[in-house]
Amino acid sequence: MTRKITPFAFLFLFLHATAQVDEHFSDGDFTRSPAWTGTMENFIVNNALQLQSAAEEASRSFLFTPSEAFDQAEWQCWVSIDYATSQYNYAAFYLASDRADGIDLCNAYYVRIGGADDAVSLFRQMGDEKEEIIPGTPHRLDGDRVEVTVRVTRNEEGMFELYTRLPGEPDWVAEGSVRDTAIGQSTYVGLMYANSGATGRRYRFDDVVATGLPATDTTAPQWVSLEIADEYTLRLAFSEAMDFAAATFEVDNGVGNPHTQTPSADGREVVLEFAYPFDEGTVYTLKTTGLADRAGNALAETERVFGHAEPIEPGDVLLNEVMFNQPEGSYEYIEITNVSGKLLDASSLVFTTRKTDGTLNTGHSPASECLLPPGGYVAVTEDAEAVRQYHQCPPGSLIRPMKWTTLNNEAGIVVLTDTTRTTIYDELAYDASWHHPLIRNEKGVALERISPNFVTQSEDSWHSASSETHYGTPGYRNSQYRATFAEPEDGSWVWTEPEAFSPDNDGFEDVCLIHYRLDEPGYAANITIFDAAGVEVCRLADNDLLATEGLYTWDGRLANGTAANMGVYVLYFEAFHPQKGLRKAVKKPVVVSGR
């Protein structure tokens, strides 16, 4: 490359006078106009006024500079690698990134130049996970030396088009196109090279241009973490840069407002210092108002529980809801509830599944600290914000992002365990047949636990989520939740709650609870539902061994799997003691009604 600015570059600059980045390194400096930051020691501007690699050993070196170009955008960069590319030697042009402090931290789109396939390809990156979305022409960069100019365009609908041009080629060569909207905006453009120890000075970059309009940001920011830095200090982190000018913070239990509030330089974090300490064993709530991102999108989650978490023991947490067949436009999730009186950290739990041979898959944990107060709920999912919006969850619903293993749509085994996978806190073998008979299509319908007092592994303990909650309640109390502390008014040993129920899956009295209480153990039971004509329509128990007290449920499903018609039915509950020859029986009316 012998000339610094080609006629094409002059024309490009003339047509795009509002370019966010127009960098040719002609001033011999990459620290100003514009300022690039990153692994500065591994770059120089050479005598040809090109940015050149200068790594002394194997590295992945990077520089970023601010750029909001994203809609109606175009990016271009010249790259030269004086070496045959491989999986250890390649370059990357970051078109749009949300961070500049590390190449394994950002959400970004980037073009990889070279690699094992010697191609130029477009990738989407979400943290440390990368996916090729436009595979380039294989072996286009074959040879001992690479020189290529890369060009990418993106329209406001998210359609990317990737082009390349090698020396001597008169026109651009189209590598492919794709529509991708997983990332919604840009903050930085960047350059990166990965080199083996012998190739630290073989990479050169020049004529970096990024032009376009900033994306319209309509996405609510996410509250990523809350950390107790010391006994007087909290550190809060968010998914994007925030505007703290109008934000207020307050902690209960007498702590009050912070006396200092210090945002980080990039606006993603804020440190709050208080006059009063945070005591061991106390559960606190931090509330915030007026907090939004720099585009004015308000923070959806406005309060969070914190404190010093206690160890999780068996019986402290239970599986509470499973969305195993995700709806269009949302994601699968698993919800748990804290049935202890302790503050627990759910990030110490592993959510996994059991294989057909009985062993556990690897599973995953929430990405950051996830404090769960007594009686609280948390749902984990691949995309917390998408799940929150789809189910229109109320403020305060606790939903956390987590790497995900796809659940089986028909049946599977969900396991809640510790990081060593030796302690099983809860386990559920679910089945799509457990859904209510009114559910014609199980896709997008969660199974909810009716009560934490019910045993996990029983179909009677679970019910389809209500239609009125968009068939799911991630991060808050289940639509089918029922309290189970009712007492009989007539002193009967069997009673129903309610006597009239409406199994229409609207979340209101969809299930009839059938309680029993016995004076001694050893009884077994037969439980049958008859219609008004005395015909058996459903058998709930057949010689079941009973506890001294417990309950069964009837969701209005008949023996043939269809829903019961409205009308009066008869519950026949027979208990017998095989060893003592005792027998007792009772009949109760049960009304299936509509609202």
Q: What is the pLDDT of residues 132-144, one digit of tens each?
A: 999 999 999 988 8
CB contact at 8 A, 126 and 182: yes
Q: Which residue has the tokens 């690897």?
A: 362
What does the H/E/C string look like for 354-412? ECCCCCECCCECCCCCCEECCCCEEEEECCHHHHHHHCCCCCCCCEEECCCCCCCCCEE
Token pair for residue 430? 């679910």
Q: Residue 19's pLDDT is what? A: 54
* pLDDT tens per residue across span 343-369: 999 999 999 999 999 999 999 999 877
Three-class SS state of 302: coil
* pLDDT tens per residue across span 221-276: 989 889 999 999 999 999 889 999 999 999 999 999 999 999 998 899 999 999 99
Q: Which residues contact 363 (CB under 8 A, 6 or more apart)?
A: 350, 351, 352, 353, 405, 415, 417, 421
Phi, psi dihedral angles at 586 (to 5 degrees): -150, 145
Q: Residue 388's pLDDT is what? A: 92
> Which residue has better confidence, 288 or 144?
288
Token pair for residue 546? 């009973």
Q: Which residues contact 477 (CB under 8 A, 6 or more apart)?
A: 377
- pTM reported for the whole predicted model: 0.57
Res 150 pLDDT > 70 = yes
Q: Residue 18's pLDDT is what? A: 46
CB contact at 8 A, 23 and 41: no
At residue 506's C-alpha, the angle toward residues 504 and 509, to 5°, is 75
| Residue closest to 241 by CA, chosen among 209, 279, 269, 276 | 269
Report the C-alpha gap between 573 and 391 in whole angstroms: 39
CB contact at 8 A, 554 and 502: no
Report the C-alpha gap between 436 and 557 in whole angstroms: 8
Q: Residue 351's pLDDT is what? A: 97
Q: Residue 319's pLDDT is what? A: 98
Element spanning 38, H or E: strand 37-38
Distance of CA 362 to the CA centre of its chain: 18
Strands 377-381 and 399-401: parallel
* pLDDT tens per residue across span 35-77: 999 999 999 999 999 999 999 999 999 999 999 999 999 999 9
Neighbours of 532 (CB within 10 A): 10
* Reported confidence tier of residue 280, pLDDT bands at 50, 70, 90: confident
